[in-house]
Each structure stands twice: as C-alpha cells, then as structure tokens.
Amino acid sequence: MSDQIILVPRISSLPGHEAKAWGILRWLVKRDIVEQLPTTCGRGARGMAHAIAPGARQIVQRPELLPYGQPLNGLEIVTKRCIYTPSEDFLEEAGCPECRQEIGEALFASLEEWMPGQTDNFTCPECGHEDDINGFLFLQPCAFSNLGLIFNGWGPAGFRQAFLEELTERLGQPLAQVQVKS
C-alpha cells in the first residue's frame, strides 16, 4: 500500500498553471528533493514520475518513513482539471461559508459542469452565495484544480510546515493537502 500526499492550490483555474508546475519542478530538482528526469516510479499515466532524491529528508517531519527503495516513490505533476478527494470513506459533505448550511449533495452534483471547465464557481442553493468551488467548506480535505502535485508513498512522512508555506508562496494560492491510500 502506498499513501499519497497530494498538494493542490485551492483554485479551480490557476493562472499559468503549466508554467508554475514546471517552475515548481525546477525548484524541487534544484533543492535535490526529486530527480529531474522522470522514471517509472509513479502510478499515473504510463507510471512516470520524478523519483525521490536525498533532499526530500529536509522537507518532511519523519524522514525515516520516506519511500526510498520503493517502486512507487515519485512526484507526479497533473496539469489538467482534476478532482482530488480521499480514496477511502469520503463523505461528500460540504457547507456554505455564508449561510453555514449543508450543501454537499448539490455541490458534488455540480462537478459535472465543473469538470469540463464550464464553470469554476458554485452557487449555494440555500442562500445564493457564489464562489470558486474551493471556497466552500469541506469536512474532509479535498480540492478541485488544474494543477496537482502527487507525492507517491510520502504520506506517512508528512510535510514540514515551512515547506508548505514556501510552496504556497511560490504558487500564490493557499494549498489543500489531500491524503490518499492506494
């Protein structure tokens, strides 16, 4: 079993998302956190990802739990619109930040319009509050964006807050951290 940590900017359409993704990759390579060239250490398309490098120990809370020597240990970068939710026991519960009502069923039904990019926003059926879908309240960490950083096997190690803050600053958006067991 491989626990993933997925870091996602909390915005549906991150401006310049592909350029930002490659800038983040260059930054991670320069810090020796991941390798520059992709190998078959991922889970996604063709299994390609950027393998874990020695510098990864500097950005996690428990370096001894990093997946060195494991077949799934790399960073996958997703630059298409995706829905990131926990894989186990996801409740699909959401609330409106304005009226505080439970609106999960309607919000998750709206993903049929969100996914193809027809809209970035959701409107609360209770009070009419409209915002980017990421602006609503979720009981479990999840995110919806055109950029995702999937760290395969890194889940048990946990990122240090300083790394998350630096990545947030580089992306210019708050981050969601989604845990996925695979």
Task: Say yes or no: 109 and 31 in one domain.
Answer: no
**What contacts 12, CB < 8 A, 6 or more positions away?**
81, 114, 120, 121, 132, 133, 134, 144, 145, 146
Angle at 16 between CA 151 and CA 153, to 5 degrees: 0
Beta bridge partners of residue 84, listed in sequence order = 143
- The owner of tokens 């999960």 is 104
Task: Say yes or no: 162 and 126 in one domain.
Answer: no
- The owner of tokens 């829905």 is 83
Task: Say yes or no: 47 and 120 in one domain.
Answer: no
Task: Say yes or no: 22 and 74 in one domain.
Answer: yes
Task: Say yes or no: 53 and 110 in one domain.
Answer: no
For 107, the domain range is 91-138
| The predicted structure's pLDDT at residue 90 | 87
Spans of the chain, pLDDT less than 70? 1-2, 45, 182
| The predicted structure's pLDDT at residue 47 | 87
Task: Say yes or no: 60 and 130 in one domain.
Answer: no
Distance CA 21, CA 124 (A): 31
| The predicted structure's pLDDT at residue 89 | 82
| The predicted structure's pLDDT at residue 2 | 59
CB 9 within 8 A of CB 174: yes
Task: Say yes or no: 152 and 77 in one domain.
Answer: yes
| The predicted structure's pLDDT at residue 39 | 94
Task: Say yes or no: 19 and 73 in one domain.
Answer: yes
Task: Say yes or no: 113 and 166 in one domain.
Answer: no
| The predicted structure's pLDDT at residue 142 | 93
Token pair listed for 82: 């995706």
Distance CA 43, CA 53 (A): 18
CB 180 within 8 A of CB 3: yes
| The predicted structure's pLDDT at residue 1 | 46
Task: Say yes or no: 104 and 64 in one domain.
Answer: no
CB 1 within 8 A of CB 182: yes
Task: Say yes or no: 20 and 50 in one domain.
Answer: yes
Beta bridge partners of residue 52, listed in sequence order = 34
Task: Say yes or no: 127 and 167 in one domain.
Answer: no
Token pair listed for 110: 């709206």
Q: How many domains does the chain have?
A: 2
Beta bridge partners of residue 82, listed in sequence order = 145
pTM more than 0.75: yes
- CB burial of residue 152 (10 Å; 0-12, 13-18, 19+): buried
